[in-house]
Structure 1
Amino acid sequence: MVTETPPETEVLAVRASGVHRAFGGVLALRDASFAARPGEIHALAGENGAGKSTLIKVLCGLISADRGTVEIFGQQVRRVVEPAARRRLGVATAFQELSLIPDLTVAENLLLQDPPRGRLGLVRRGRLAPTADAILQRYGVDYIDSRTTTADLSVAQRQIVELVRVLAQEPRVVILDEPTAALPDRQVEWLAGHMRRLRDAGCCVIFTSHRWREIEQLADRVTVFRNGTHVATRDEMSESEAVTLMSGRTLEGTYPDVAALPVGETVLRVDQLAGGRLRGVSFDLRRGEILGVGGLAGQGQRELFLTLFGARRAASGTLSVGGTPVTVRRPKDAIRAGLGIAYVPEDRKAEGLFLPLSIRDNIALATLSRRSAGGFVRRRGERAAVASIAEQLRIGGGRATSQAVATLSGGNQQKVVMARWLLTDARILLLFDVTRGVDAATKHDMYQLVADLAAQGKAILFYSSETEEIANLCHRVLVLREGRVSAELAGPVGDADRIVAASLKEESDA
């Protein structure tokens, strides 16, 4: 284990020593240490559940440590610090779980902590939108209307607003917890530019990311955590070395070998599907196939998945499953026996899980009708089925399935959502950005699971905000542009640039 103790004379923006933090019986940090300098971009890496987010909350004073010390530019943070006090310390944080208030406008969220006021200290509501517009323009965000209600924004747009709110504080220490998880490539480049600008101005930028490419491109130093403890801090680190440090195991290859494109039966046929952003989408999905959906963000990918699952109504078009025309008006229609369509969403917390419920209850939710009679659930059969699928997917490292799913790391929570639908034995799996916000080792597990499911004969429609995943996992790739299929690429494509190039063409003969 490589540890790094900075010299006592070195000026540090952030120093944590011997930090210990537990939540009930779960130990999140154990004797953790961390140090970051002014004028550097410092990446904090580790598996889901390694303690990164807890450390960030301790560093910024949102929660207190059970023991240990935290210093910001030499000043100790001894307890929970109010937002105003955090700003006085020069610390600004954007959390992985967005802190925007959905029912307020963008302007109200941006200026919530420091609204324009008149002589008597009253908020000048008429100045909110113009002031917010000026802030958005200052940071190159001219595509978000400050008068829009935040709930009406996409996840990526909400993340942008969250980041602008942090940047506008002009802090000395910026802490970004998974800031790019919901962002398309163009916005990732936007954020990277601002991170470098802050570093060059002497600011300390600390960020977490499960996209190793971003860490390699941005970080001046990398600190790895495992099981709540500091493992190593280095100026340079390869992805394979980082994964070994994070997980304690060596992974062979990033992506599994995907079997050749099957010549199997057509399981799902979509013909001229329209509605919302969709403008006449047609394709066939075969048994044992992983069919990728690519294209720039916001071209109708999410609408396509939701419409196929019945969570959105189609304006026109037809669906056939196994050669039989079907009507899917609601998710219940999609998952019923004989049809077998399952949807795994990107936002596991908001769309996929009931956090207060147990792991077992979350997994068994979609199959309750099969294990109940007269209003009573046959618990013995349920426990056996859930235990088997939980062991197969290595959920929670052997943790009891009676525990609340909220106690799991993000990667394990995503596995719970996958387990729920695998328990239904669905024939068609709609996987929408299922690796978003999970660590490298868990991603590797998810890639292998997708390949194994295809080998078992499942028909898989796959979208990812990381184009490399689509390029390396899928048999074919459909490129969406303005709600239409603008190109079809034979795969595995291998080179993500081919998908990006096809996404940017008005018409493609690829």
Structure 2
Amino acid sequence: MSGVDLACEAGKVHAILGENGAGKSTLIKIIGGVVKPSAGELLLRGEPVRFDHPIEANAAGVVCVFQELSLMPTLTVAENIGITMPTNRLGLFDRKAQVRRAEELLARVGCEGVNPNAWVSDLPLSRRQMVEIAKALGKDPRLLILDEATSALTSSDVEKVYELLAELKAQGVGMLYISHRMHEIKELADVMSVFRNGRHIETFAKGQRSDDQIVELMIGRDMGHVFPPKPAARSFPATRLAVRDLGWERQLEDVSFKLGEGEILGIGGLDGQGQRELLLGLFGVLKGLRGEIKIDGTPVELTSPRQAKDRAHGIALVPEDRKTEGLMLPMAIAANMSLASLDRFTRGVVIDRRREAARIDEMVRRIQIKVGSLDHPVSSLSGGNQQKVVLAKWLMTEPRLLMLNDPTRGIDVGTKQEIYQLLRALADAGTSILFYTTDYDELIGCCDRVLILYQHRVQGELVGPDITEKNILDLALGLRGGPERAKREAERARADAR
């Protein structure tokens, strides 16, 4: 990053836009005291400052909420929130005061239901993200930096964050806001700055640039069509996956559907309606699954991911959290890519490293992973390229059924477009794709058919021109469809599965 001139005003939300690798993260790490600048000057309230450590930045009122959470999973929520500001009474640690402080901050972000004494490791990703925000508020920020702060949140939590940011603006807090969700930027930002290739390109006020103009500034080229064209309306006579009366505890209730060969089937609905459990169940992760699953017409009982991914079943799952579920961060990029497919390069106990390396090089070219050396740790890559490594890892298993859990969360528009094109190419080649996403535009633009889950059941199905935002929302909010309709659709799916 070089030659960057930027000013964030008190009481304003200043959005920082750009592709992964554009320099956004470097900028906020310099401001937050994580990285030392090699040139230039940083002014805070008009006075020059230089932070040698994040603790110094925090003391000056500069607080960061990074996309990669800083929480310690083996500590409680209260311990994580109070770790940098321990409460003392007469020189002794005051546990009760720490819990009370955590309760106050959780209530401020709208998370009264989170138990301060719960282990962070037991919380879902969306709750951990809200705890991270509460932790930041506890440092009394005057400049709050948010890096993809809503990417893992439910829609109700996003609204709470919006309300919180409005409250902070009214208090005169300045905010730098990084997000790849354009609808958030349009709603929240007062000012926007675009970065590309480590340089500041342009700063403008809200409403001065169209979405297309902003995207073109970010990527330096005409974006064209974000989503590749869908094939003409067609049926999928060969059924790759048939699910009948699938259930698990109270998270899935009598879910039935089928997925054709070469079809992209979207899974939508408000977060927490059973979508994650559906994918995990089909990947052999959940124990005690009820119902019937057929792969290529043959009933199967999936008891482990190892079994699900073997050649007989050909199932792959790109998980929700690439950092904790998809990658081994300290390991080399190449090792991460081949981890799930080593059996394909092994004879006895010997790995054919030449074949493995050739396959990895092929994937790097095919998915356009921006990488210096494949021997570097995968943690050295940008978020978008890390996600591409996860995709490559599972594509190297040559799946017939590819399942994706919100795969574009927190990555830039250019990388998203590349992933959309890849998914359509895979479908055209015969791969069946089960695609859960919280982005309605992706359901509309990518999918041949969409199932909406509501209260852990299939609420309805949308096909072709019926895949609209209004129809998706109506079903997701329970305003259309319902148990009786779902029951009829389940009966039809059962008949098709036979």
TM over 0.5: same fold? yes
Q: Per-residue CA shift, 1:278-311, capped at 9, x if unaligned?
A: 2222111111111111111111111111111112
Paired amino acid for 1:95: F
Q: 1:369 aligns with which of 319, 343, 346?
A: 343
CA positional deviation for 1:153: 1.0
Paired amino acid for 2:297: G
Contact 2:265 2:433 in 1 (8 A): yes
Structure 2 partner of 1:293: 267
Structure 2 partner of 1:104: 75
Contact 1:366 1:421 in 2 (8 A): yes
* CA distance in structure 1 between the partners assigned to 2:262 and 2:214 by the alignment: 33
Structure 1 partner of 2:133: 163
Structure 2 partner of 1:329: 303
CA positional deviation for 1:227: 1.6
* CA distance in structure 2 between the partners assigned to 1:61 and 1:258 by the alignment: 47
1:425 aligned onto 2:373: no
Paired amino acid for 1:237: R
Structure 2 partner of 1:343: 317
CA positional deviation for 1:261: 4.2
* CA distance in structure 2 between the partners assigned to 1:76 and 1:61 by the alignment: 14
1:91 aligned onto 2:62: yes
Paired amino acid for 1:136: L
* CA distance in structure 2 between the partners assigned to 1:261 and 1:437 by the alignment: 33
In structure 2, relative to structure 1, the CA distance for the partners of 1:168 and 1:261 (3 Å cut) is farther
Paired amino acid for 2:401: I
Structure 1 partner of 2:332: 358
Structure 1 partner of 2:42: 70
Deviates more, 1:362-371 or 1:203-212: 362-371
* CA distance in structure 1 between the partners assigned to 2:292 and 2:52 by the alignment: 56
Q: Per-residue CA shift, 1:395-421, capped at 9, x if unaligned?
A: 116x44343322221111111111122
SS at match of 2:387: helix
* CA distance in structure 1 between the partners assigned to 2:319 and 2:422 by the alignment: 16
Contact 1:150 1:158 in 2 (8 A): yes
Structure 2 partner of 1:483: 456
CA positional deviation for 1:329: 0.7
Q: Per-residue CA shift, 1:138-190, capped at 9, x if unaligned?
A: 33322222222111111011111111222343321110011011012221121
Structure 2 partner of 1:263: 236
1:283 aligned onto 2:262: no
Deviates more, 1:439-448 or 1:63-72: 63-72
Structure 2 partner of 1:391: 365
Structure 2 partner of 1:449: 422
CA positional deviation for 1:220: 1.1
Structure 1 partner of 2:216: 244
Deviates more, 1:374-383 or 1:203-212: 374-383
1:154 aligned onto 2:128: no
Structure 1 partner of 2:96: 126
Contact 2:450 2:467 in 1 (8 A): no
Q: Taking every aligned residue pair, what percent have the same amino acid on both sides? A: 42
* CA distance in structure 2 between the partners assigned to 1:66 and 1:382 by the alignment: 40
Paired amino acid for 2:4: A
Q: Per-residue CA shift, 1:80-103, capped at 9, x if unaligned?
A: 2342x3233111211111111112
Point out where structure 1 has 5 or more consecutive residues left out of the alignment. 1-28
In structure 2, relative to structure 1, the CA distance for the partners of 1:400 and 1:140 (3 Å cut) is closer
Q: Per-residue CA shift, 1:348-375, capped at 9, x if unaligned?
A: 1211112233332222222211212232
In structure 2, relative to structure 1, the CA distance for the partners of 1:261 and 1:198 (3 Å cut) is farther
Contact 2:109 2:133 in 1 (8 A): no
What is the root-mean-square deviation of aligned Cα atoms in Å?
A: 1.9
SS at match of 1:281: strand
Deviates more, 1:471-480 or 1:41-50: 471-480
In structure 2, relative to structure 1, the CA distance for the partners of 1:346 and 1:77 (3 Å cut) is farther
Paired amino acid for 2:123: L
Point out where structure 2 has 5 or more consecutive residues left out of the alignment. 487-498
* CA distance in structure 2 between the partners assigned to 1:102 and 1:294 by the alignment: 29
SS at match of 2:313: coil
* CA distance in structure 2 between the partners assigned to 1:461 and 1:492 by the alignment: 19
Q: Per-residue CA shift, 1:176-232, capped at 9, x if unaligned?
A: 011011012221121112212222322111110011111111111111111211111
Paired amino acid for 2:111: V
Q: 1:191 aligns with which of 153, 161, 166?
A: 161
Contact 1:475 1:492 in 2 (8 A): no
Q: Report matched runs for 1:195-234 at 5 Å.
A: 195-234=165-204
Deviates more, 1:194-203 or 1:150-159: 194-203
In structure 2, relative to structure 1, the CA distance for the partners of 1:339 and 1:189 (3 Å cut) is same
CA positional deviation for 1:394: 0.8
